[in-house]
Structure 1
Amino acid sequence: MTKLIVQPSNSDDMEISKQQYEYALNRIEELLPLVTDETPANDKNAIELTIVSDVVEAYEKIHYPIAKPTIGELISLSIEEKGMTQKELAKELGVSPSRVSDYISGRAEPTLRIARAICLILGIAPAAMLGL
């Protein structure tokens, strides 16, 4: 078995090469069939799976960051998931449909009161609405 070497840099972050990342991805594919929910946490395959998964996560956090959605994207996606229209949301919020359109397009931000109502109506986590 080839050893995976992760070399720490001067900071607290690990420097992970593309080659190490690809090795970790391949190793995960090999380990997944061997590790199930019933596998003990101290099993060597479970431990290795955790380690290589951490390597992949660290690499992807740097090279493939996922941007947090905007308020407008959250609202738009949630409206679609609920099968609602902007007009229906506007009615429930007590605002005009053009105001909801402004929130979605980023031309305006909802007040805290309206943002709370949007979260309740659409099932959006308040932390997501606040960008946390």
Structure 2
Amino acid sequence: MNQIAISPIRTEHDYQEAIKHLDKLLDMNPEPGTELDDELEVLTTLVHAYEKVHYPIELPDPIDAIKQIIEEKGWSNKDLEPFIGPKSRVSEILNRKRYFTIPQIYRLHKHLGLPLEVFINESVLKAA
């Protein structure tokens, strides 16, 4: 088996070259389990690691994320009642007068697909 010619991504130039190479590999649509597929997997991991450090993505505010989902789904606040509780509780939370309970966080995570980190992270804790 040939060795994969991949090196660490240390600079922005390395990163740009890795992205170009990734694009070429993706265009080749390698078969699973082949050397090209292995190269694609390793390079993707390296690019992801570089991006995590150099291009971090901020987590959304939980209220803003919920409001975005409501809008996308064409829902009203009433549609959140199964996850949050009665109409008054939904209103308090969406108006930032009350924070979520752990069961509410779990239900919103499970049913809306929001990562737990959206509700429990450093920026949320600082604001509390």
Aligned-residue sequence identity (percent) comes to: 23
Q: Are residues 1:40 and 2:32 paired?
A: yes
Decide whether the 8 Å contact of 2:108 with 2:114 is kept in 1.
no
Calculate the TM-score normalised by the size of structure 1. 0.65
Query: What is the aligned counterpart of 1:25 among 5, 19, 24?
Result: 19
- 1:55–1:119 CA distance, 2 compared to 1 (3 A): closer
1:11 aligned partner = none
Whole-Å separation in 1 of the counterparts to 2:94 and 2:32:
51
**Worse overlay, 61-70 or 19-28:** 61-70
Calculate the TM-score normalised by the size of structure 2. 0.66
- 1:94–1:61 CA distance, 2 compared to 1 (3 A): same
5+ long unaligned stretches in structure 1: 7-14
Letter of the 1:17 partner, please give it: T
Decide whether the 8 Å contact of 1:40 with 1:46 is kept in 2.
yes
Whole-Å separation in 1 of the counterparts to 2:109 and 2:40:
37
Whole-Å separation in 2 of the counterparts to 1:58 and 1:117:
31
Moved over 3 A (4+): 89-92, 112-120, 129-132
- 1:25–1:84 CA distance, 2 compared to 1 (3 A): same
Q: What do the CA deviations read for 1:83-107 (whole angstroms, capped 9, x no partner)?
A: 1123x2466631326414324xxx4
1:124 aligned partner = 112
Query: What is the aligned counterpart of 2:62 among 59, 71, 74?
Result: 71
- 1:131–1:91 CA distance, 2 compared to 1 (3 A): closer
How large is the RMSD of aligned CA atoms in angstroms? 2.9
5+ long unaligned stretches in structure 2: 122-128
Q: CA deviation at 1:40?
A: 3.4
Q: Are residues 1:109 and 2:99 paired?
A: yes
Q: What do the CA deviations read for 1:15-52 (whole angstroms, capped 9, x no partner)?
A: 6211111111000111112124xx131x2211221122
Letter of the 1:94 partner, please give it: P
- 1:16–1:77 CA distance, 2 compared to 1 (3 A): same
Higher share in helix: 2
